[in-house]
């Protein structure tokens, strides 16, 4: 049997004004024009911009839609429209069933009421009777791990405690539709892991809309994504890897920065030996299982004791994933002024498919003090047929 459509979004647009006073004045004008039966003005007035433009999708029970995009792309605005916190300027949202939401810290909580009272309040808003909430109460408190503090006013909760309570209510009340802004997952690691386990458990009976900046998580949970850019759906579809690649494109430019120098040496160039360049911004490409071969050109400004080279490798989210063995850059104990070349090779690279960048430093011969450090010196791309979000694919014999 076809799963039922729980969320239907048709041509939804939302505009905001960059200036508060002008925005308030437009609000008053809109009120009058609505009163006279005119529809919302669809054209932009001075200082207005589209935070969302013509968004369309359908979501069935058991499906999870990932909303991705850079800061200010419109993700939270869409969640707020879905949750009924704000109205769209154009388009229509149809939702069937109960909506659980974790979208704004403290939203939906009355700060002067206790945690327990807020559970009753929120449960009632979700459409549950007092008896039904009574039945769920202990489960929610236990899930949020807040039994000691449940009779304290929510205004005295830490932000992590508020998120715990918010997620416990949103997820334990068996919603048909669950809206989650992962930015709010400020709970500690243990609670976050528990949340994701719960999401896995309720997914088959729920339609989930999940906003996240963590691409591995999006790819694990979601079966469809929308990549928002300036309020528009730049990509929408079920090919999660293609959407994520587009999202990452913005990070492709080299952003080489010297973080520290003591003035004795500089790095002029690093060449990554590669069979070909990627279409994506001429990045050198290495096939998985191939060699990472680097040729460095240094400029030695003063005669110094031979330093050691430190090369760390970062993934596209700037998480450090590996470091190459630290070695002296020459066999001689001292190096003279002038240029110096060095070739190093790491064989059989087993990173999974993706874009990586190099942080490079030189450290003094006899102390850990740095000579020079660069971040994001250059990038390379590893190719593999499989879209895998774990950091490595380890060569395996069967």
Ligand X SMILES: Nc1ncnc2c1ncn2[C@@H]1O[C@H](COP(=O)(O)OP(=O)(O)OP(=O)(O)O)[C@@H](O)[C@H]1O
Residues that bind ligand X (CB under 6 A): 16, 51, 69, 71-77, 183
Give the nearer residue to ligand X in terms of CB position, either 71 or 333: 71
Q: How far is the CB of 28 from ligand X (least distance, A)?
A: 16
Residue 183 Cβ vs ligand X, minimum distance, rounded to whole Å:
6
Choice between 71 and 396, CB closer to ligand X: 71
What is the full DSSP assignment across 238-306? S-HHHHHHHHHHTT-S---EEEEE-SSEEEEEEEEE-SEE-TTTT-EEEETTS-EEEEEEEEE-S-EEP
CB of 211 to ligand X, least distance (A): 7
Distance CA 176, CA 82 (A): 13
Place of tokens 């104990």: 333
Shortest Cβ 170–ligand X spacing (Å): 18
Nearer to ligand X, 77 or 352 (CB): 77
As measured in angstroms, the least distance from the Cβ of 163 to ligand X is 15
CA 188 from centre of chain: 17
Planar angle of CA 204, 210, 214, nearest 5 degrees: 115
Please state, in angstroms and as integers, the Cα–Cα distance from residue 283 to each residue in 101, 277, 311, 320, following that order. Answer: 41, 5, 18, 19
**Closer to ligand X by Cβ: residue 51 or 179:** 51
Min dist CB 14 to ligand X, Å, is: 8
CB of residue 55 vs ligand X: minimum separation in angstroms? 12
The candidate with the shortest Cα–Cα distance to 272, out of 155, 355, 168, 163, is 355
Q: How far is the CB of 298 from ligand X (least distance, A)?
A: 40
Distances (CA, A) of 241 to 91, 122, 235, 253, 390: 29, 37, 11, 20, 13
Total Cβ atoms within 10 A of residue 49: 12
Helix (H, G, I), strand (E, B) or coil at 179: strand
**Which DSSP string do the residues of 303-360 spell out, in sequence order?**
-EEPPEEEEEEEETT--EEEEPPPEES-SSSEE-SEEEEEEEEE-S--BPSEEEEEEE
> Nearer Cβ to ligand X, position 72 or 338?
72
Q: Which is nearer to ligand X, 77 or 375 (CB)?
A: 77
| Shorter beta-carbon distance to ligand X: residue 73 or 265 | 73
Measured from the CB atom, is 73 or 165 closer to ligand X? Answer: 73
Closest to ligand X by CB, 229 vs 266, is 229
* CB 37 within 8 Å of CB 5: no
Closest CA to 98 of 174, 187, 32: 174
- The CA-CA-CA angle for residues 324, 330, 334, to 5°, reads 130
Residue whose CB is less far from ligand X, 80 or 116: 80
Closest distance between ligand X and the C-beta of residue 76, in Å? 3
Taking the alpha carbons at both ends of the chain, their separation in whole angstroms is: 40
- Kindly state the tokens that stand for 304: 């110094």
**Least Å from the CB of residue 200 to ligand X:** 24
Residue identified by tokens 């430093």 is: 361
């Amino acid at each position: 049997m076809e799963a039922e459509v729980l969320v239907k979004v048709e041509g939804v647009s939302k505009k905001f004004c960059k200036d508060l006073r002008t925005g308030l004045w437009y609000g008053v004008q809109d009120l009058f024009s609505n009163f006279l039966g005119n529809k919302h003005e669809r054209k932009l007035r001075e200082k207005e911009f589209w935070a969302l433009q013509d968004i369309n999708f359908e979501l069935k029970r058991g499906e999870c839609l990932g909303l991705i995009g850079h800061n200010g792309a419109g993700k939270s605005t869409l969640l707020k429209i879905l949750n009924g916190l704000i109205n769209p300027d154009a388009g229509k949202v149809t939702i069937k069933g109960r909506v659980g939401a974790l979208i704004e810290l403290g939203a939906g909580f009355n700060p002067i009421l206790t945690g327990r009272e807020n559970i009753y309040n929120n449960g009632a808003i979700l459409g549950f009777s007092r008896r039904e909430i009574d039945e769920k109460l202990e489960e929610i408190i236990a899930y949020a791990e807040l039994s000691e503090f449940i009779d304290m006013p929510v205004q005295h909760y830490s932000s992590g405690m508020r998120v715990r309570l918010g997620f416990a209510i949103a997820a334990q009340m068996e919603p048909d539709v669950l809206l989650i802004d992962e930015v709010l997952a400020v709970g500690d690691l243990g609670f976050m892991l528990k949340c994701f386990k719960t999401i896995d458990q309720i997914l088959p009976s729920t339609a989930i809309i999940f906003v996240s900046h963590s691409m591995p998580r999006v790819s694990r949970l979601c079966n469809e994504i929308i990549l928002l850019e300036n309020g528009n759906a730049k990509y929408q579809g079920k090919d999660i890897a293609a959407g994520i690649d587009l999202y990452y494109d913005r990070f492709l430019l080299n952003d080489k920065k010297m973080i520290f120098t003591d003035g004795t040496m500089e790095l002029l160039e690093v060449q990554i030996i590669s069979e070909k360049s990627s279409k994506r911004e001429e990045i050198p490409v290495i096939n998985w299982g191939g060699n990472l071969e680097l040729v460095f050109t240094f400029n030695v400004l003063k005669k110094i004791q031979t330093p050691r080279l430190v090369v760390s490798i970062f993934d596209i989210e700037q998480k450090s994933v590996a470091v190459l063995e630290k070695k002296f850059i020459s066999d001689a104990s001292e190096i003279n002024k002038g240029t110096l070349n060095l070739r190093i090779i790491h064989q059989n690279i087993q990173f999974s498919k993706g874009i990586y960048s190099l942080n490079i430093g030189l450290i003094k011969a006899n102390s850990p003090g740095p000579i020079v450090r660069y971040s994001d010196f250059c990038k390379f791309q590893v190719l593999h047929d499989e879209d895998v979000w774990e950091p490595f694919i380890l060569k395996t014999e069967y």
